[in-house]
């Protein structure tokens, strides 16, 4: 299906901003969601991470806000994390570069004062985390009485993080008549309940499986003794292409800091990113990673959503996630927008059953590998009674065709 952004009837200034971003053809989620959003319908959009959900809700908003009272808060985007708020904010600036619309991002971890000053100026869109938004509302800095469009972005993550009460409080102060766009990588029972409350007569848009990573991801398991994981990771990072970046996930903040110190002692240029760090340090780490001064970022799952950086050619699960759906969000940081990438999991014997859950959720059997000299003492368990034969040559960062077998 050949569709262009111009076919949606978007304003010339928005098309110009998209052209400068290099956007040529809409993604499947954009093809389905943008027309419904432009028509003023409520939308539930479900698609795997990295498929363009941000543009799918921002473009209808920017088109709508071109008409009517500019400089009045008419659109609110709720997101679960600071990083995602910042990413959506910069996307709004890029897409609306040639419009006269103003956006402000508000989130915790930084001073209220600068955000308060920005909110006192003309503003059309606020992108916010729920807690900080309620803080500003309680202080009288934000008036939601003119809100025409509400976006609940990464709704599943927002609810998982315990924001259900905050979201319900915000819904309670919005005008009765407003458009709601709910986007999520996965649709859980909690998200279904939220959608029933927040939306009416909505268009449902689902692209791909609900527990699916992007098509360009090759999934690879490396069986390794737990005490050898660090050495295996150093070998893998040594194979990164010249301009490639690697995002390494740990389960805990303490684990991320410890691994970062160890990698630095091994000569790796690396930074850590997690919720225990000050916002200034998180921003510095992300900027260094985005600009290529740091090619390896060690993060907790705070970074599984909201990091949209080109050239992340490899995601490494240093620790297998306890929740199998977290795996989908982690590996969605690579192979974005049709690119290719490798999702590599360092799997110690005590984590085999966790990977069994991941494969069962995704309906896939991942390739097995071992690294010479770093093999565990016993062979990996066979997920669902079958697995691809382990190879003895060690893993490669060059994606193979097929990536994994569907069951």
Q: How do residues 365-391 score in pLDDT, each as one tens digit?
A: 888 888 888 878 765 555 433 444 444
- Pair 85, 63: CB distance under 8 Å: no
Q: What is the pLDDT of residue 399?
A: 45
- Give phi and psi for 198, each to the nearest 5: -90, -20
Gyration radius of the chain's alpha carbons: 22
CB atoms within 10 A of CB 206: 14
User: Look-up: residue for tokens 């409520």?
Assistant: 42
**CB-based contacts of 343, cutoff 8 Å, min separation 6:** 213, 217, 218, 219, 220, 314, 315, 317, 330, 331, 334
Distance CA 92, CA 313 (A): 26
Could you tell me which of 239, 247, 217 has the C-alpha nearest to residue 400? Answer: 217
Distance CA 44, CA 255 (A): 36
Distance CA 282, CA 359 (A): 32
CA dihedral 35, 41, 44, 45 (to 10 degrees): 10
- Pair 376, 225: CB distance under 8 Å: yes
Distance CA 61, CA 241 (A): 38
Which CATH code for domain 5-207?
A: 3.40.50.300
Residue 79, CA distances (Å) to 133, 230, 238 in order: 10, 33, 35
Angle of helix 53-65 relative to helix 12-21, nearest 10 degrees?
A: 150
Q: What is the pLDDT of residue 214?
A: 60
Tens of pLDDT, residue by residue over 49-68, are: 667 889 999 999 999 998 88
Distance CA 75, CA 9 (A): 20
Query: Residue 357 above 80 pLDDT?
Result: yes
Pairing assessment for the beta strands 404-406 and 364-370 based on DSSP bridges: antiparallel
Distance CA 181, CA 162 (A): 20
Segment (H or E) for 181: strand 179-184
Q: What is the pLDDT of residue 212?
A: 57
Could you tell me which of 120, 126, 84 has the C-alpha nearest to residue 101? Answer: 126
Query: Residue 187 above 80 pLDDT?
Result: no
Residue 395 confidence class, pLDDT cut points 50, 70, 90: low
Tens of pLDDT, residue by residue over 6-46, are: 999 999 999 999 999 888 889 889 999 999 999 999 999 88
Q: What is the pLDDT of residue 402?
A: 45
Query: Residue 197 above 90 pLDDT?
Result: no
Mean pLDDT of the chain: 85
Max CA distance (Å), the chain: 68
- Pair 380, 345: CB distance under 8 Å: no
Query: Residue 169 above 70 pLDDT?
Result: yes
CATH architecture for residues 217-406: 3-Layer(aba) Sandwich (3.40)
Q: First CA to last CA across the chain, in angstroms?
A: 28
Task: Report helix, strand or coil for 134.
Answer: helix
β-sheet bridge partners, residue 286: none
Q: What is the pLDDT of residue 324?
A: 83
| CB environment 153-169: b (16+ within 10 A), e (fewer) | bbbbbbbbbebeebbee
Q: What is the pLDDT of residue 387?
A: 42
Domain with CATH 3.40.50.300 in the chain: 5-207, 217-406
Distance CA 377, CA 11 (A): 62
């Amino acid at each position: 299906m050949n569709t262009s952004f111009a076919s949606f009837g978007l304003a010339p200034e928005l098309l110009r901003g998209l052209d400068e971003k290099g956007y040529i053809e809409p993604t499947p989620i954009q093809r389905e969601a943008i027309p419904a959003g432009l028509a003023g319908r409520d939308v539930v959009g479900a698609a795997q991470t990295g498929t363009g959900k941000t543009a799918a809700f921002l473009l209808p908003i920017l088109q709508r806000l071109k008409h009517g009272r500019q400089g009045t808060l008419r659109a609110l985007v709720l997101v679960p994390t600071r990083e995602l708020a910042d990413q959506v904010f910069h996307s709004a600036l890029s897409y609306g570069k040639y419009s006269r619309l103003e956006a402000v991002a508000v989130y915790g971890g930084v001073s209220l004062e600068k955000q308060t000053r920005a909110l006192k100026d003309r503003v059309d869109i606020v992108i916010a985390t729920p807690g900080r938004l309620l803080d500003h509302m309680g202080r009288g800095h934000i008036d939601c009485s003119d809100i025409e469009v509400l976006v609940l972005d990464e709704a599943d993550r927002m609810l998982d993080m315990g924001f259900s009460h905050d979201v319900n409080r915000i819904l309670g102060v919005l005008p009765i008549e407003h458009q709601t766009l709910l986007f999520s990588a996965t649709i859980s029972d909690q998200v279904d309940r939220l959608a029933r409350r927040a939306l009416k007569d909505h268009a449902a848009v689902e692209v791909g499986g609900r527990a699916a990573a992007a098509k360009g991801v090759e999934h690879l398991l490396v069986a390794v003794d737990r005490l050898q994981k660090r050495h295996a990771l150093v070998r893998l990072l040594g194979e990164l292409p010249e301009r490639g970046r690697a995002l390494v996930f740990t389960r805990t903040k303490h684990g991320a800091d410890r691994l970062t110190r160890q990698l630095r002692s091994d000569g790796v240029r690396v930074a850590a990113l997690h919720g225990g760090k000050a916002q200034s340090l998180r921003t510095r780490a992300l900027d260094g990673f985005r600009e290529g001064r740091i090619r390896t970022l060690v993060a907790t799952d705070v970074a599984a959503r909201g990091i949209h950086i080109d050239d992340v050619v490899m995601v490494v699960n240093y620790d297998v996630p306890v929740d199998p759906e977290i795996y989908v969000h982690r590996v969605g940081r690579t192979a974005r927008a049709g690119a290719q990438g490798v999702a590599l999991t360092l799997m110690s014997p005590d984590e085999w059953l966790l990977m069994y859950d991941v494969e069962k959720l995704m309906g896939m059997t991942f390739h097995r590998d071992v690294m010479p000299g770093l093999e565990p003492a016993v062979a990996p368990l066979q997920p669902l009674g079958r697995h691809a034969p382990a190879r003895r040559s060690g893993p490669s960062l060059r994606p193979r065709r097929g990536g994994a077998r569907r069951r």
